[in-house]
Amino acid sequence: MFFYKQAFKLIFSVCESLYIMLKRVLKKIIPKSFISFIFKMKVKVLFCLFLFLSRLKSCNCQWRVFGFFCNKNVFLYELPCSYRLDCESETVSETPNYKSINVFSEKIRLSSINLYELKDCFFSVDSSNFLVDDDLIVDKIPHIDISVSNYATGFLRMHNDTVSLIKLHDVHDLVIESAYFLGGNGSENYYHWMVELLPKLQYIATKSGFERCANIVVSSRVLEFDSFKKTLVFSVKGFKFNIYYLDKKNTYRIRKLLVITKPSDVLFNSKNVLSRVDFCFYRKSSIDYTVKLVEDIVESNELDLLGVDFFERVFIGRMPGLARSYNQDEIEELLVTKYGFTTVFLENYSIEEQFMIFKKAKCIAGPSGAAWTNLMFCNKNSVLISWLPDNISDFSVYSSLSSLLGLNMFFVEAEADCVQELHTSYYLSPVRLARLIDEVLM
């Protein structure tokens, strides 16, 4: 077996040198799209090779080829925690209400919220994966099987149930001893920030939390979004935390990274199954924390909202070029001319203004997307109308959130252009939408 290991390493070393030389030549004469295709194929071939090697009985899982490593998977919740911050709980996720289809709900048992101390840890601020010693630690949702989950973000390029393919790049050693981790999958997405990451600060921005550690690491992208920056700064007000804004392109190493499990979560990427009712869960206390935080921000800036117009019926517009495009112009014409909606592009409003738009509106309509995170600010008597393509008709993120908060949210099923793709474009029938509006509003 020793001979085989040495032979493999020699072959890999030669192949790696040839690959680097060939790559420099090909970059000058071959289109970038083709090189990207070749790279994806290379990763898949390497992963299959690593799987073979990892099955050799006396073979260590640590193999290096073209800068890639193969490591064993460990799930964060399987590790002994340093502190238990909140107890176990139970919640209910609920499928969208299409009026003509029965709503299905599922009880989900929530694990306790724990704090883990990962020592000599490699991490990336836009990923929920961590490298410690020879183990890849994945912040996996406990009740969702790894076979339908895809956690390949940051330096994790590919994985199966037991092993992962990793490539570290631009590793930077942080000079600080320890820090709270306020990053993870989707950390620059409004939904993931407001629902999954920001509520962690209810455990960090406390007297005991500050005494434990005075450093927080977040993505530098937080500085680019006013709502992210404002909520972060307001959350830690009263404590002199040192906030380090890190580049998502880099991998960092720190002596001790403090990782808190997410109070609420949604499966970031799936495979084999596009959507399922149990792919998300919410803790009411974490949602209440975010709502109260934004309420406090609004109260502190009340004068800035004077003279701002708010509307009874709001249509959430989407900027051109985004994923899941649909016949927006046709739908906008129906909503504005027949039903008196006002089109709002939330990107043009501050977090305070967004809060007031959702708080004061009697009816809100719009496609499924991160903008619906703001439904947590709505009044109980408001009516919410959204739509989903039929290939993900059971996508339950916003139906579950609205149900948790006791809101009236209804959905229309649209026709997907490509049923195999999660972010496919689609067509929404104006007739179907008008029928639902007449039923719930008139």
Q: What are phi and psi of 105, to 5 degrees?
A: -125, 155
- Is residue 374 exposed (0-12), middle (13-18) or buried (19+ Cβ within 10 Å)? buried
SS3 34: helix
- Give the per-residue pLDDT at 48: 59
CA distance 363 to 339: 11
pTM of the predicted model as reported, rounded to 2 decimal places: 0.86
CA distance 253 to 174: 6
CA distance 383 to 362: 6
- Give the per-residue pLDDT at 420: 84
Which positions ≥6 away from 267 have C-beta within 8 Å?
A: 141, 144, 148, 149, 279, 280
Q: What are phi and psi of 155, to 5 degrees?
A: -80, -5
Torsion sign (Cα): 136, 142, 146, 152: negative
CA distance 388 to 334: 18
CA distance 381 to 377: 12
- pLDDT tens column, 297-326: 999 887 666 666 789 999 999 988 777 899
CA distance 325 to 328: 8
Place of tokens 């092993």: 163
- Give me 95's structure tokens: 């499928």
Q: Are 414 and 366 in contact (CB under 8 A)?
A: no
Q: What share of the chain is helix, strand, coil (3-state, %, to 5)?
A: 40, 25, 35
Give the DSSP H/E element, type plus range, for residue 412: strand 408-416
Which positions ≥6 away from 86 have C-beta within 8 Å?
A: 112, 113, 203, 263, 283, 285
Q: Determine the residue type at 271.
A: K
Q: What is the pLDDT along the chain (442 residues), one digit of tens a residue?
A: 444 445 545 554 555 555 555 555 555 555 555 555 555 555 555 555 555 444 443 344 444 544 556 667 899 999 999 999 999 999 999 999 998 778 999 999 999 999 999 999 999 999 999 999 878 999 999 999 998 999 989 988 888 887 788 888 779 999 999 999 999 999 999 999 999 999 999 999 999 999 999 999 999 999 999 999 999 999 999 999 999 999 999 999 999 999 999 999 999 999 888 899 999 999 999 999 999 999 999 998 876 666 667 899 999 999 887 778 999 999 999 999 999 999 999 999 999 999 999 999 999 999 999 999 999 999 999 999 999 999 999 999 999 999 999 999 999 999 999 888 878 899 999 999 999 999 998 7
Instruction: Report helix angle 2-29 to 32-54, nearest 10.
Output: 170
Q: Are 179 and 142 in contact (CB under 8 A)?
A: no
CA distance 362 to 344: 14
Which positions ≥6 away from 348 have C-beta within 8 Å?
A: none
Domains, the chain, with CATH or none: 2-60 (no CATH), 74-95+110-266 (no CATH), 301-441 (3.40.50)
Which spans in 222-283 are helix H? 226-235
